Each structure stands twice: as C-alpha cells, then as structure tokens.
Amino acid sequence: MNTRSFYSFILISCAFISTAMAQANLLNARVPQEIGQLNEKQTQANDETPLAYGYIDDRDILWSKTIWEIVDLDERINFPYYYPTDTLNLGPDRRSLFHVLKKNLRNGNIKEVYDDDYFQSKLTYQEILDKLVAIDTLEAGIEQLNAGEELDPQYINRRTITAAEIRQYRVKGTWYVNKRLGELKYRLLGIAPVAPDVYTLDLPEDEQDLVELFWVWFPDARKSLNESQVFNNRNSSQPITYDHMLNSRRFNSLIYKEENVYEDRKIEEYIFEDALKQLLESERVKSVIRDFEQDLWNN
C-alpha cells in the first residue's frame, strides 16, 4: 500500500467513525428504533442544565452599552441556526432554531415572549400563531358565499410561516465591564426571528416586508435551548447546544441600533439610503465597544 492510499484509508475511516458517532446509541442499537435512545447511565451523565450566570452587583459594572444586532441567515457561518428546514428524513435531535423556539412555546417551556424588544407587551401562544398563519378566501369561495352556499375548503388559501421562511434573527444584548474581574463581557438579553409578513409571502421577494415575529427573553429560554443540539460540521460526534452557541457569540452579525439619547434610534434613521455609510457606522459602534477595554488597560 503506497502512502497516498494509506492516507486515503485513514481519512475515510475517520469520516465513517465521525458519522457513526453522530447519533447516540448508534453502535449499540439492535433495531433502528433504538438509535438515539439513551440508557439510564447515559441519561444521568448528560447534564442538560445550562451553566448558570454568575451574580453581578450593579455597583460592579463600570461601563455598559446595549446594542441590537442582525444575524443574517444567508451567511454561511450562520447556517447552523437556519438548517434543517426539512425534517422528514432526519432524527428528532436535529432541528432549526426556529423549530426549537416554536416547539417550546407550544409546550409552555418558554413563557417570557413579547411583542417588542423592550419586553413590555407580553404575547400569548395564540397571538404568536396569529402572526404565523394567514387564512384567505379565493374569489371562487367568495362567489360561493355570496350565493348562499357552503364554502368549499379547496377555496381557502392557508399560508404558514415555517423555518424555511426565516431570513434573520435579531438579538439584543449588553456589553459591560466588570470592574472586579477587569474584563469586557457580553450578556444576551433577547432574540427574535425575522420573516416576511405572512400576508406578503406570495409576493416577489423584493416586495415582501420583513417583520419581527416575537421577542424571546433569552434567560427564560436557556434551559430549552440547552436541550437542543446544533449540528457540528467539523465533528458530528460532538454537537453543540443552541445555548452554548448563542452565549459564546458563534455567529456573524451587524449592529443596527444602539442605546442613545435619541430614543435609541436605528442607524438607518439618521443615515439614509447609503448602505456603505450604514455599514461604517455599525463598525464605528463596534469599535467604541472594543476600544473601551483597550483604553482601560492603556491609561
């Protein structure tokens, strides 16, 4: 066996092992239904409790700034939050972030859901569904109703926002300097899926209106997100939880708003129709945060 063949064999073997370990109990399953089922010892060993945040006294915060960011799901680095959109052929352990949020909202595991990014107006699950579903009657159905006939279900057009329609996530968080630790840290406060308005789904993409579906208070969702795993493209035997992904900021984002004296106005509200200058302003805000920690040690 020459050197090239030997290395090819090693790579194929590693790929096979990585794929085989992607699902729990895969190598010990006697029937396909046992794949993904954990035994008693494995269940006890898997700690699904998220790492608790440490207590921080308000007097220990030397400086802070709250920002809002856009996580664009068209960017490759953000794909783990978007996929999979089709779950028919995948196991229950692989779900998109939107699917995880919606499932736990339905089950009541996530209760702190709001209509705005200041977490003032709380939403019920039914109110959330009203934003995700649009029911319209076709012209043929209207003619039936006008004629006094019973409406045929085939003339009812029902559209639902699914994981495939999610375009962005918007996150709100605070950067702060803990003077006891002497370091700059980040605390995620809220996350919101963004999709076209359900009543504009049939329009061309450039005519669709993107709206925030709901805002989730992130600390309330941590336990549910920690129980859901993200596919690790580099090593499928070591999946990562959504809680870990978001807390460690494993995404690329763009700042679109910061807290300021002008009623927290968005960047696009004072820099009009100039995408380049808006991008530069976003980078300027990011530099202010980054430079504060540098200046803290240089002065």
pLDDT of 1: 46
- The pLDDT of residue 293 is 82
Position 70 scores a pLDDT of 97
Bridge partners of 188, per DSSP, are: 173
pLDDT at position 262 is 92
**Any residues with CB less than 8 A from the CB of 6 and at least 6 apart, and which?**
none
Q: What are phi and psi of 178, to 5 degrees?
A: -90, 110
Residues 116 and 219: beta-carbon distance below 8 Å: no
Q: How far apart are CA 242 and CA 240, in angstroms?
A: 7
Buried b / exposed e along 167-195 (16+ C-beta atoms within 10 A): bbbbbbbebbbbeeeeebeeebbbbbbbb
The pLDDT score that the predictor gives to residue 123 is 95
Residues of the chain with pLDDT under 70: 1-28, 30, 33-36, 38-48, 299
pLDDT at 12: 41
What's the confidence (pLDDT) of residue 2?
52
Torsion (CA) 254, 258, 264, 270 in degrees, nearest 10: -60
User: Quick one: pLDDT at residue 90?
Assistant: 79
